[in-house]
Amino acid sequence: MRIGYLECFAGISGDMLLGAMIDAGVAPELLQQTTTALNLGANLVLDSVDRSGISARKVRVIVNGHDADAPHSHVHSHDHEHDHHHHDHPHSHDHEPVADHTHHHGRNLPTIREILGNAPLPAEARALALRTFELLGEAEAAIHNMPLDQVHFHEVGAVDAIVDITCAAVGLTSLKIDRWYSSPVNVGSGFVDCAHGHFPVPAPATASLLRGIPTYSEGPSMELVTPTGAAILRALGCDFTRPTAAFEHIGYGAGSRNPARFPNVLRISVGESVSVVPDTIARETVTILECAIDDLSPQIIAHALQLALEHGALDAMAASVVMKKGRIGTLLTILCRPSDAPRFEELLFRETSTLGVRTRTEQRRTLERAHVTVATPYGKIRIKTAALDGTITHAQPEYEDCQARALEHRVPLKHVINEALHAWKQHQDAAAHAPDTVTNNPEAAIRE
C-alpha cells in the first residue's frame, strides 16, 4: 500500500505543503499549470532556501505582480478572519502599528465552487479542494453563527489561498497515495492579531479545524499552523500515528521565516507500507470523549447516549463513579472517528449539564465483523459474527430482532435468542459440509 507521511514538527501551511511536494517529486509544471487554469492572475515562483541548515523548497504565490507572502498586516472592513501567512510576523505583544485598509478580493463558497467548477481539474483533486474549502467555511460559519454559504471572508476568498489549496489538492492526488498519515501537529505559541482581536495561537478558525487532532506547542513564539494547513490535514483524513514504511521520496517545504535553531519546514515522505509482523486485526484511530456528571437525571443521560449512537458514534457508555466531596456521578464516554469529534463534543454540551469534555486520541483494533440472517420458528433474525484470521470467534443474535419477535409471538425473549443461536449453529454445520454453497451474504444465509 502506497502511503504518505506528513511531519508537522514546525506546523503546516499551504505554501509549506507545496514546497514539500515539489521537493518530494511532484512536477513544478503541474502546479504552474493548475495556477494558470484558475485564471486568477496568479503564478508561482519556486526557490531553494536554507532553514536552519536544511535545504528546502519555497513556493511563493505572485498575484498581479505582488508577492502574497510579503510581510503585511490587515484590518478588514468585515468581521471575518483573515488569512495568516505562515510565519510572516512574530506573535507577541511587540507588534508594529497595524495598517488599516479594506480588502476587495474576499469571496464566498459559492464563488469558490464556481471557480473550481470552471477550471480543468482532475475530478479527485477538485473534490479534495472543495472539501478543504468547505471545512474552512464550516469553521468560520460556526465562529460567526451564520449559514455556510453566507460566509464571506478573506481566508477562503484570497487568491493566494485559492492557489495554495487547489495546487495542494492537485499535487497530493497526483502522488496516488492510498493512505495519509501525520505526526502530531506543533501549533506554536504566542499571540496573533486578527479581526476577532488579539488571540493566542492557534487563531480561532485554526483551533476549530484542529479539534480531535493531536497537537502540542514547542519552539519559538510564533504561529505555526494556518487555517489552510489545518483544513488540508482534516480533508485528507490522516491517521495520526507513525507508519511502518519503506520511504522512497522525502521532501522539505519551507515556511517564510527562518528562526535560529528551529528548522521551519514541513517534511513529507512517500513510500510503501511494510508489515513487520503479519497482522490481520484491523487498526484505526479513534477519538474518546468523556465527561463526568452528578446533577442530571438518568433518563436524560440515557437519551444523550442514544442520540450519540443514532448520529454515528462507534460506541457510547455510562459508568458510575465517585466524584469530589463523595458525590456519586456518572462518567459518560463516547467513542467516535476523529473527524466526528467536534459534533459529539457539541452534543454533550447541548444535551447534558457538563461544563467540560475531555478528548484524547487512541488506537483501536477490531475483529472482522459480518452479519448472517437465519430463519427461526419466530421469524428471520440477524446474527452478528466476529472473526480472527477467517475463523469465527463470536456470534450473537441482534437484540432488536429478538425483542421484536418475542413481542410479536408473546414468548420469552430468552427462547427467541436460544432459537436464533440454534439456527445459526445449524447454518455453520451446513457451511462446513458445503463451503462453496453457503456464504456470509445475509440473503444467501436465510433458511426458509
**How much of the chain exceeds pLDDT 70, in percent?**
84
State the pairing for strand pair 66-67/368-376. Answer: unpaired
Q: Which of 319, 315, 341 is nearest to 328 (CA)?
A: 319
Q: Average pLDDT, whole number, for the chain?
A: 85
Residue 185 to residue 6: CA distance in whole angstroms:
10
Residue 82 to residue 38: CA distance in whole angstroms:
21
**Environment class of residue 271 by beta-carbon count within 10 Å: exposed (0-12), middle (13-18) or buried (19+)?**
middle
Residue 30 to residue 167: CA distance in whole angstroms:
8
Residue 68 to residue 63: CA distance in whole angstroms:
7
> Which uninterrupted H or E stretch holds 212?
none
Q: Per mean pLDDT, which range of 5-14, 134-143, 246-255, 432-441 is the poorest?
A: 432-441
Q: Which pTM was predicted?
A: 0.58
Q: Per mean pLDDT, which range of 127-136, 152-161, 205-214, 248-257 is the poorest?
A: 152-161
State the pairing for strand pair 2-7/179-182. Answer: parallel
From the candidate CATH numbers 3.40.50.970, 3.10.20.300, 3.30.300.30, 2.40.128.110, the one assigned to the domain spanning 368-433:
3.10.20.300
Residue-level pLDDT at 267? 98
Region 266-289 average pLDDT: 82
The domain made up of 282-365 has a fold known as Alpha-Beta Plaits (3.30.70)
pLDDT band at 196 (very low <50, low <70, confident <90, very high): low
Length reported for the chain:
448
> Which uninterrupted H or E stretch holds 370?
strand 368-376
Residue-level pLDDT at 442? 41
Residue 312 neighbours by CB distance under 10 Å:
11
The residue with greater pLDDT, 366 or 18, is 18
- Secondary structure of residue 357 in the 3-state scheme: coil
The residue with greater pLDDT, 280 or 392, is 392
Range from 6-20, 79-93, 233-247, 277-291 that averages highest in pLDDT: 6-20
The residue with greater pLDDT, 32 or 73, is 32
Give tens-digit pLDDT for 97-150: 333 333 334 688 888 999 999 999 999 999 999 999 999 888 888 877 777 776
Amino acid at 13: S
- Secondary structure of residue 70 in the 3-state scheme: coil
Region 241-254 average pLDDT: 94
Question: Does the pLDDT of residue 262 top 70, yes or no?
Answer: yes
Residue-level pLDDT at 6? 98
72 CB-near residues (< 8 Å, 6+ apart): 88, 99
Q: Which residues of 106-118 are buried (b: 16+ CB within 10 A; e: fewer)?
A: bbbbeebbebbee
Residue-level pLDDT at 95? 31
Residue-level pLDDT at 128? 96
Query: Fold identical between 282-365 and 368-433?
Result: no
Give residue for cell 444535551.
Answer: 351
Domain boundaries along the sequence of the chain: 2-273, 282-365, 368-433
Question: Does the pLDDT of residue 443 top 60, yes or no?
Answer: no
pLDDT band at 446 (very low <50, low <70, confident <90, very high): very low
Residue-level pLDDT at 74? 36
Residue-level pLDDT at 100? 33
H-assigned helices in 158-313: 159-174, 204-209, 227-236, 298-310
Give residue for cell 495556477.
Answer: 35
Q: Which of 367, 370, 365 is nearest to 385 (CA)?
A: 370
**Environment class of residue 335 by beta-carbon count within 10 Å: exposed (0-12), middle (13-18) or buried (19+)?**
middle
Residue-level pLDDT at 198? 81
